Amino acid sequence: MKNFLVLTSAVLALAVAGCGSDSSSGGSQGSDSSSGSSSSSSSSSSSGAAAQSGNVAVDIKGFAFTPKDLTVKKGTKITWTNDDSAAHNVTAGDNTFKSKTLNQGDTYSWTADKAGQWDYVCTFHANMTAHITVTG
Ligand SMILES: [Cu+2]
C-alpha cells in the first residue's frame, strides 16, 4: 500500500514534469530553429559559396553585375541579360568569354566548359567588375 502510493505520486510527478518541459522547450525550440534557419539560409545565399549548375542568370543592372561573385559547376550555362538602358558588355580578363555590345534586353551566354577563375568587366565602364569561379 505504501509502495503503491509512492509509485503513483512518482508517475504523477513525471507526467507533470514531462508536460511542463514539453510545452516550454517545444515553444522555445520552435522560435529558435525558425530564426536560426532563416538567418543561416540568407547568409549562405549571400556568400554564394555553393556551386550552381544548369542554367544560371546574371543580371546587368544599375551599372553592376548581379551576382558579382558567382560559383558554378563545369558545364553550367551562364546567361547575362542587360537590364540597363545603357549599353554594356561582358569581357573576361583573358578573353575566355567575350560578348558583343549588349543593348537593353540583349543577352549573352557562355557555357563554362573548363574549371578556373575569371575576373571580367564591362569594358565601357571600368568599375563594372565581377568574378566567376568554375569548379571541376
Ligand atoms: Cu557597362
Q: Is the pLDDT of residue 13 over 80?
A: no
pLDDT attached to residue 35 = 39
- Span from the CA of 15 to the centroid of ligand 1 (angstroms): 68
- Span from the CA of 53 to the centroid of ligand 1 (angstroms): 26
Supply the mean pLDDT for the chain: 78
- Per-residue pLDDT tens over the stretch 33-88: 443 333 333 333 344 468 999 999 999 999 999 999 999 999 999 999 999 999 99
pTM, two decimals, is 0.65
- Span from the CA of 107 to the centroid of ligand 1 (angstroms): 13
78's torsion region: left (phi>0), alpha (psi -120 to 50) or beta?
beta
Burial annotation 67-78 (CB, 10 A radius, 16+ → b, else e): beebbbbeebeb
